[in-house]
Amino acid sequence: MKLLKPWWAADGGLLHLTLLLSLAGLRVDLDLYLLPPPPAPLRDELLWLGGPTRPAHALSPFPALGEWGRTGPQHPKGWASDPGAPLEGQLLREVRALGVPFIPRTRVDAWLVHSVAAGDADGARGLFGAASSAGEVGANVDSSSQAAPGSGGDPREALSSPLAATEEEEEAEAAAEPTAQVQDAGGRAGQDTEVVVNQQNETVDRNSQHEERVSTQKKSLQQSNEDDDKIADKPDWEAEKTTESRNERHLNWTDTSFSLEDFFQLLSSQAEYSLEEISFEDIPPLPGNISDGMNSSAYDCNVNLSQAISHDVNLHEAMLVCSNNTFRRNPVARTSQVPEPFLQLSSHTNPEQALPGSDLTGFLPLVDNQMRNVTSQDLLYDLDANILDEINLMSLATSFDPLDISQLFEEPDSDSGLSLNSSHNSTYITTKSNSSHSTYDEGAIGYSSDLESQDLEGAVGGCYPESIKLCHVDHRNDSGFHENLEFQHILHNHTYHLQPSVPEPSSESFSWCGKSPKKSRHLEDTDRNLSRDERRAKALHIPFSVDEIVRMPVDSFNSMLSRHYLTDLQVSLIRDIRRRGKNKVAAQNCRKRKLDIIVNLEDDVSNLQAKKETLKRERAQCNKAIDIMKKKLHDLYHDVFSMLRDDQGRPVNPNQYTLQCSHDGAILIVPKELMSGHKKEAQKGKRKSERH
DNA sequence: GCACAATGTCATAAG
DNA sequence: CTCTTATGACATTGT
């Protein structure tokens, strides 16, 4: 599992990178340039895990930016462990035969590049031999973390990683003699491998140039491999991306009509970019063995690197410069690293190494300057928003062990600046649909108060590194809970770019904040996406999302609070957030229930009204029938009396007599006076019986 | 600026 | 006792 991190870190799918780092808890120091990928030579070096002498010009077959994130663990076909991956072929079967459980396709491809170019299939054994002999994936981490950490943290060191890591990797080389073959293969790859580049014409915009510059190598061989292998299996969206990438450039490592000189001339064609801030005198020259394996063009790569890194390009390169300035480590110190794999990784995530304050101060103006020069195209030049979302979701969906993260961050020195990454990621995602300026002051996104506006200004105006230092988030999660959460954009959106002097935001401060005239429009836009509690959580650097806090079971919640070092204010805020969040849900349910009750009552009322109308109609019909019966009875009554005669033969007056029907059916003519008296007696008797 | 609805928040009671 | 839920009352926000 840990094997993958350096690879992911190096692939250049920056958002994907970050998430993987967050999830896996490894290689956190790479966070610092998780925006756009480093220049191709640097990244190429990052990806070189086969040995210290890999020539920087050796082309690596990386997919286009964005493709990589889609061809990662979410797409097992791209992995060596996938038996159906057409990429594998005999070489990967050999690798699998070595017992390597997981081989990122990048690694495989990178190896394929060199071994194939050199016609050396044994390079695979040399490359993976040490890992496989170690019997666990962690061995791969070791080998990768030797090259990737230095290169991941410091592009300069990335350049010099062959030199710096020589001592460390001598062991690996000793353990795996064929590595030298791979190195030679890599050197020959630079010489022998010729790539066809349909270079874009002058109308290519700056974004494309950036992407070209930073991902040309990446997209070269692996793309040509993967495109053919994966297009058939890819989802539509991935196939589209691949098509787009192909439209941009056509690199085919099997083709033989492109020279590396052309390639690096392409890289250096960005004449507008210079690296004034960076003194490459600090960069150690590539070791002689590299030069031995390189032709003149290869060395040009090293020279052109200064042109490839721009000071006026985008935030990514600002961060890259940051990495340059801050991640340089003493090779001697590196050699003294604990050989245990995890500790090695942890040492790379040491915040003191990653973000030393002294270096940050030097980094600050540069970043500020670069951030101010950011354009929307720069920021978005190679990131498709949808891709980011997908990568984000997919990465979140990938299996990982949160305990690993916890273990990593429980390391005393493993302050990682993860939140920086997260902030980049999440902010990038959150603001991807916004205007260009919504990104470069990302540190303050979500703050709407004056206080927050000040934070924004601070973040933009040069306090960013400070924020970075504050951004450390001990992002451990209770296992078993993550899977059940619906991760929205706020998840891992731990963008805490507040200055340390920021007072605790009170409810009041957030109450009137929305009316602050200082608030920029984009802040308003972004604030709409954040609730007050989310902003509060950001302000207090709460390392959990509001959603997590609210939805987490009480046991997990309590254990989370106990297992994290949180201030009283943070704990109080977290509990308030949880209480408010639950009450909010309860209020919603209550209102919904109330509405349901109202609706049901209304329905009942309407039903009852309808029933009432029906009864009214029935009553009217009954009354009508009764009237008819009465009339008939009245007529019959008069008919009968008209035929009756008394003893003298006179007609009987119906007003004085009435007809009574006896029990035996006989009809009697009874005077009404008697009937009235009987009725009264009958009524009295009836009342008495009712009383009894 | 006002009205209104929707929503959030708080206090409180009950389970 | 703690936590959750329900709900009235009030505040805030959006239209």
Q: Are residues A596 and A660 in the same domain?
A: no
Would you say the C-beta of A591 is within 7 Å of strand B?
Answer: yes
Distance A465 CA to B5 C1' (A): 45
Helix (H, G, I), strand (E, B) or coil at A689: helix
Instruction: Give the type of residue at A662.
Output: S
Residue with tokens 């004056």: A450
Distance A593 CA to B14 C1' (A): 18
Q: Residue A465 is encoded by which pair of tokens? A: 């590194």
How buried is A633 (Cβ within 10 angstroms: 0-12 exposed, 13-18 middle, 19+ buried)? exposed
Would you say the C-beta of A435 is within 7 Å of strand B?
Answer: no
Would you say the C-beta of A528 is within 7 Å of strand C?
Answer: yes
Round to whole Å and give the CA distance between A10 and A158. Answer: 11
Helix (H) or strand (E) holding A124: helix A123-134
Which residues 487-526 on A are within 7 A of strand B at the CB atom? 507
Cα dihedral across residues A573, A579, A585, A590: positive or negative? negative
- Count how many domains chain A has: 2
Round to whole Å and give the CA distance between A198 and A247. Answer: 9
Instruction: Give the type of residue at A101.
Output: P
* Contact between A346 and A5 (Cβ < 8 Å): no
Would you say the C-beta of A584 is within 7 Å of strand B?
Answer: yes
Q: Are residues A542 and A632 in the same domain?
A: yes
Q: What is the pLDDT of residue A366?
A: 36
**Rounded alpha-carbon distances, angstroms, from residue A159 to A42, A218, A348:** 6, 16, 17
Instruction: Give the type of residue at A604.
Output: D
pLDDT of A636 > 80? The answer is yes
Asked whether residue A544 is assigned to any structural domain, the reply reads: yes
* Contact between A139 and A1 (Cβ < 8 Å): no
Q: Are residues A611 and A638 in the same domain?
A: yes
Q: Residue A163 is encoded by which pair of tokens? A: 């030199």
pLDDT of A574 > 70? The answer is yes
Would you say the C-beta of A594 is within 7 Å of strand C?
Answer: yes
Round to whole Å and give the CA distance between A53 and A189. Answer: 13
Round to whole Å and give the CA distance between A455 and A441. Answer: 10
Would you say the C-beta of A593 is within 7 Å of strand C?
Answer: yes
Q: What is the pLDDT of residue A624?
A: 97
Q: Are residues A546 and A638 in the same domain?
A: yes
Would you say the C-beta of A595 is within 7 Å of strand C?
Answer: no
| Protein residue closest to B8, using CA and C1' | A584
Instruction: Give the type of residue at A278.
Output: I
Asked whether residue A598 is assigned to any structural domain, the reply reads: yes
Mean pLDDT of chain A: 47
pLDDT of A692 > 50? The answer is yes
Half-sphere exposure of A81 (CA within 13 A, CB side): 14
Asked whether residue A2 is assigned to any structural domain, the reply reads: no
Assign residue A632 the CATH number of its domain.
Answer: 1.10.880.10
Among candidates A76, A106, A94, which has minimal Cα distance to A7?
A106
Residue with tokens 């052309």: A262
Would you say the C-beta of A588 is within 7 Å of strand B?
Answer: yes
Least confident of A276-290, A390-404, A487-501: A487-501
Among candidates A345, A424, A340, which has minimal Cα distance to A388?
A424
Among candidates A418, A408, A426, which has minimal Cα distance to A471?
A418
Distance A609 CA to B2 C1' (A): 37
Round to whole Å and give the CA distance between A24 and A411. Answer: 14
Residue with tokens 């050796």: A58
pLDDT bin (cut points 50, 70, 90) of residue A625 is: very high
| Protein residue closest to C7, using CA and C1' | A590
Distance A509 CA to B10 C1' (A): 18
Q: Are residues A540 and A604 in the same domain?
A: yes
Distance A554 CA to C3 C1' (A): 8
Would you say the C-beta of A598 is within 7 Å of strand C?
Answer: no
Helix (H, G, I), strand (E, B) or coil at A61: coil
Helix (H, G, I), strand (E, B) or coil at A645: strand
Would you say the C-beta of A297 is within 7 Å of strand B?
Answer: no
Q: Which nucleotide is nearest to A575 (CA to C1')?
A: C3
Q: What is the pLDDT of residue A611?
A: 96
Asked whether residue A663 is assigned to any structural domain, the reply reads: yes
Would you say the C-beta of A198 is within 7 Å of strand C?
Answer: no
Asked whether residue A469 is assigned to any structural domain, the reply reads: no
Q: Are residues A621 and A668 in the same domain?
A: no
Q: Which bases of chain B come closer than 7 Å to a protein CB?
A: 7-12
Among candidates A67, A21, A18, A12, which has minimal Cα distance to A41?
A12
Which residues 630-669 on A are within 7 A of strand C at the CB atom? none
Distance A603 CA to B15 C1' (A): 30
Would you say the C-beta of A219 is within 7 Å of strand C?
Answer: no
Q: Are residues A617 and A666 in the same domain?
A: no
Round to whole Å and give the CA distance between A325 and A468. Answer: 15
Other C-beta atoms lying within 10 Å of the C-beta of residue A641: 17
Region A490-499: mean pLDDT is: 29
Q: Give per-residue pLDDT as tens, A98-146.
A: 444 333 333 333 333 333 333 333 333 333 333 333 333 333 333 333 3
Q: Helices A4-11 and A137-153 meet at what angle, rounded to 10? A: 30
pLDDT bin (cut points 50, 70, 90) of residue A679 is: confident
Q: Looking at chain A, how many residues does it have?
A: 692
How buried is A371 (Cβ within 10 angstroms: 0-12 exposed, 13-18 middle, 19+ buried)? buried
Distance A586 CA to B14 C1' (A): 15
Residue with tokens 């731990």: A494
Q: Residue A498 is encoded by which pair of tokens? A: 């507040």
Q: Which bases of chain C come closer than 7 Å to a protein CB?
A: 3-9, 11-14
Distance A100 CA to C8 C1' (A): 64
> Which stretches within A540-567 are classed as H helix?
546-551, 554-563
Among candidates A153, A173, A134, which has minimal Cα distance to A49?
A173
pLDDT of A235 > 60? The answer is no
Asked whether residue A576 is assigned to any structural domain, the reply reads: yes
pLDDT bin (cut points 50, 70, 90) of residue A689 is: confident
Asked whether residue A569 is assigned to any structural domain, the reply reads: yes
Round to whole Å and give the CA distance between A299 and A670. Answer: 139
| Protein residue closest to C5, using CA and C1' | A586
Residue with tokens 């349910």: A589
Q: Give per-residue pLDDT as tens, A454-484.
A: 333 333 333 333 333 333 333 333 333 343 3
Q: Which nucleotide is nearest to A510 (CA to C1')?
A: C12
Q: Give per-residue pLDDT as tens, A311-370.
A: 333 333 333 333 333 333 333 333 333 333 333 333 333 333 333 333 333 333 333 333
Distance A598 CA to C5 C1' (A): 20
Q: Are residues A538 and A571 in the same domain?
A: yes
Domain that holds residue A579: 532-643
Would you say the C-beta of A534 is within 7 Å of strand B?
Answer: no
pLDDT of A534 > 70? The answer is yes
Distance A521 CA to C2 C1' (A): 44
**Rounded alpha-carbon distances, angstroms, from residue A368 to A355, A441, A497, A533, A685:** 16, 10, 14, 29, 108
Q: What is the pLDDT of residue A657?
A: 84
Round to whole Å and give the CA distance between A482 and A398. Answer: 11
| Protein residue closest to C11, using CA and C1' | A511
Q: Are residues A636 and A657 in the same domain?
A: no
Q: Are residues A543 and A639 in the same domain?
A: yes
Would you say the C-beta of A533 is within 7 Å of strand B?
Answer: yes
Helix (H) or strand (E) holding A671: strand A667-671
Would you say the C-beta of A590 is within 7 Å of strand C?
Answer: yes
Q: Which nucleotide is nearest to A576 (CA to C1')?
A: B9
Q: Give per-residue pLDDT as tens, A161-217.
A: 333 333 333 333 333 333 333 343 333 333 333 333 333 343 334 444 443 443 434
Asked whether residue A617 is assigned to any structural domain, the reply reads: yes
Residue with tokens 């195209």: A377
Q: What is the pLDDT of residue A529?
A: 60
Residue with tokens 């009509």: A257
Least confident of A14-23, A369-378, A497-506: A497-506
Q: Are residues A589 and A607 in the same domain?
A: yes
Distance A528 CA to C14 C1' (A): 11
Distance A588 CA to B6 C1' (A): 10
Q: Which nucleotide is nearest to A590 (CA to C1')?
A: C6
| Protein residue closest to B11, using CA and C1' | A583
- DSSP class per residue in A214-257: HHTTTTTHHHHHHHHHHTTTS-HHHHHHHHHHHHH----TT--S
Choose between A22 and A408: higher pLDDT. Answer: A22
Q: What is the pLDDT of residue A591?
A: 85
What's the DSSP call for residue A28?
G
Least confident of A48-62, A515-529, A541-555: A48-62
Residue with tokens 């451990």: A476
Q: Are residues A612 and A638 in the same domain?
A: yes
